Amino acid sequence: MSARSKARKRALDFLYEADIKKVQASDLFGARGATELSQEPYVLTLLTGVAQHINKIDELIITYAQGWDMDRMPPIDRNILRIAIFEILWASDIDLQVACDEAVELAKSISTDESSSYINGVLGRIIKLKDSIAF
């Protein structure tokens, strides 16, 4: 597993916990101590990026996750989508397909089989429309 894959998983852990506790993921991350901060800079990049763009990210999830509203979507799937959408739209150093594939792999490993194909579909639509999405 690559360092970035591990960072995505770690960021997902923080986002999921924060979602459940209704707190900021970056606050949870900061509370874990300085050693984590220095060892996992991409985790902080993901957490900060998702927090900075959360309104637009959630708007896109609501728009393209047909048949699901945010409250009904499993928190793990919602946060996998948040990470991937941040990477697709704002992380210029990440290949679009890599961001999508990593999200699908996360879903396969910790969510349901249906979640992985659903996440793939949502992200596929966002990738196709990326150039027309105003952000």
In this prediction, residues 115-120 reach a mean pLDDT of 94
Closest-CA residue to 11 (of 121, 117, 94, 87): 87
Q: Yes or no: say if 104 and 120 are a contact pair by the CB < 8 Å rule.
A: yes
The model's pTM: 0.92
Range of the domain at 124: 3-132
Cα angle 16, 21, 22; round to 5: 95
- Does position 128 have pLDDT exceeding 90, yes or no? yes
Q: How many domains does the chain have?
A: 1
Residue 109: CATH number of its domain: 1.10.940.10
* Pairwise CA distance, residues 130 & 99, whole Å: 13
| 41-67 per-residue burial string, b: 16 or more CB within 10 A, e: under 16 | eebbbbbebbbebeebbbebbeebbee
34 confidence band (pLDDT: 50, 70, 90): very low
Segment 8-17, tens digit of pLDDT = 999 999 999 9
